[in-house]
A and B are shown apart, each in its own frame.
Chain A
């Protein structure tokens, strides 16, 4: 096994001749800094569900606010305040298949978008974040253009109570 001792000694001496102690510290520092940067990659940020109010964002504003751009023709409780989101119903409720549809102006790109205000049904009224903006809303005698209807009544589970309203983007209105 003597050859192994010689090999190890020669390798260690060669390494010591080639490198300085400071370079070891510098390398270790770079490694630690790199490891600290890993959580900043998009993988971790994708799990961050906090709303962004960045003006350059394609979906600007606070989805929990009545002023949020997609809420321009909403009439009801904002599902985001009730355990759901602007596109998903809270647990324990079903999304109505029939719905009231309108357009809203997206301030970030200046385009109009078709928005579908699907109601979430199956629990009593949420009661939080009531928002009633009614832009483009028509009278009850134009049923397809009125948001005063309880759209839960069209759900396959008949006569179930209204809980809250979503505001889903269907597509650009052009």
Chain B
């Protein structure tokens, strides 16, 4: 994905790391590890889930992503930055970057049963 200059993906002109700090870090913490029992860690799940269509749909439909004030483009760039910078798992060679169109499609259907779907995806994921 071509990131281009900052102006192409942000109304505020912020880099992905600053968008993470402003829109995600408050709950997921600076390293994405979350708060046990309250805020899920993204350090394994994001890259794991990104490997399947159902997992990618989940990632975009969770409340923090679907309802963030960021644009579709900014959100896609931010997710790709998170997969590369806040993951304990190495990015698989066949990793597909999130696109603005993909974000636009799934964020229109925010997830109500977040915990249920996450548990199902985690049980299906490889150990």
- Chain A residues near B (Cβ < 8 Å): 97-103, 114, 116, 142, 144-145, 154-156, 170-171, 173-174
Q: Which residue of B lies closest to A101 (CB)?
A: B26
Q: In the complex, A97→B25 CA distance in Å?
A: 10
Q: In the complex, A64→B12 CA distance in Å?
A: 30
Seed contacts A98-B38, A144-B64, A156-B38; 8 additional CB < 8 Å A-B pairs? A97-B35, A101-B22, A154-B38, A155-B35, A170-B30, A171-B17, A171-B18, A174-B15
Q: In the complex, A171→B37 CA distance in Å?
A: 28
Is B39's CB under 8 angstroms from A174's CB? no
- Chain B residues near A (Cβ < 8 Å): 6, 12-15, 17-18, 21-27, 29-30, 35-39, 64, 67-69
**Given the known A-B contacts A154-B35, A174-B15, are A114 and B27 also in contact in the complex, defined by CB atoms under 8 Å?**
no
Main secondary structure of the interface of A (DSSP, over half): mixed
Q: In the complex, A99→B25 CA distance in Å?
A: 8
Residue contacts A-B, CB under 8 angstroms, 9 given: A98-B29, A101-B22, A102-B22, A114-B18, A114-B22, A144-B27, A170-B25, A173-B21, A174-B15
Is A97's CB under 8 angstroms from B29's CB? yes
Q: In the complex, A118→B121 CA distance in Å?
A: 32
Q: In the complex, A174→B23 CA distance in Å?
A: 14
User: How many A-B residue contacts, CB cutoff 8 Å?
Assistant: 56
Q: Which residue of A lies closest to B21 (CB)?
A: A114
Is B23's CB under 8 angstroms from A144's CB? yes
**Given the known A-B contacts A142-B67, A154-B38, are A170 and B21 also in contact in the complex, defined by CB atoms under 8 Å?**
yes
| Cβ–Cβ < 8 Å partners of A102 in chain B | 22
**Given the known A-B contacts A98-B27, A144-B23, A170-B25, are A156 and B36 also in contact in the complex, defined by CB atoms under 8 Å?**
yes
Closest 5 CB pairs of A and B: A101-B26, A114-B21, A98-B27, A173-B18, A99-B26
| Cβ–Cβ < 8 Å partners of B15 in chain A | 174
| Cβ–Cβ < 8 Å partners of A154 in chain B | 27, 35, 38-39
Q: Which residue of A lies closest to B33 (CB)?
A: A97
Is A101's CB under 8 angstroms from B29's CB? no
Is A145's CB under 8 angstroms from B69's CB? yes
Q: In the complex, A170→B18 CA distance in Å?
A: 9
A30 to chain B, nearest CB (A): 53
Other-chain residue from A155, A156, A173 in contact with B22 (beta carbon distance below 8 A) = A173
| Cβ–Cβ < 8 Å partners of B26 in chain A | 98-101, 116, 144
